[in-house]
Amino acid sequence: MQYSKKVLEHFTRPHNQGALKNASGVGMVGNPVCGDLMKIYIKVKKDKKKGDIISDIKFETLGCASAIATSSMVTDLAKGKTVEDAMKITRNDVADALDGLPPIKMHCSNLADEALHEAIKDYRNSLIKN
């Protein structure tokens, strides 16, 4: 199985790793088949012109090199975007940004975008409750 240089970079030196205190939203997903577990934390700030912006984002992932790399990359892709634009991030966006993933590891990029989307849904649900 051949990994791209970007996958190896994000695996060995992940960006935005760790928990985020007082997160605006948290999303957690897992794949029972491979055992990967991802948790994404987002902090959202209101911008009068742009709307809700993901001002900070962190992840905690237990899994393989691809799972960690995709978690790292999805945080890079989402940071600074509006929540609406971040909801449009797909598994293919994540894989493409990493210069591809082995076909057997594409499910990892699927988890990364799902965890991000779950964090955004959690944020939106908190707005409804308050």
Q: Which residues are catalytic?
A: 34, 108
Give the amino acid at 73: M
For residues 25 and 32, what is the distance between their CA atoms, to the nearest angstrom? 23
Contact between 76 and 16 under an 8 Å Cβ cutoff? The reply is: yes
CB burial class (10 A; 0-12, 13-18, 19+) of residue 20? buried
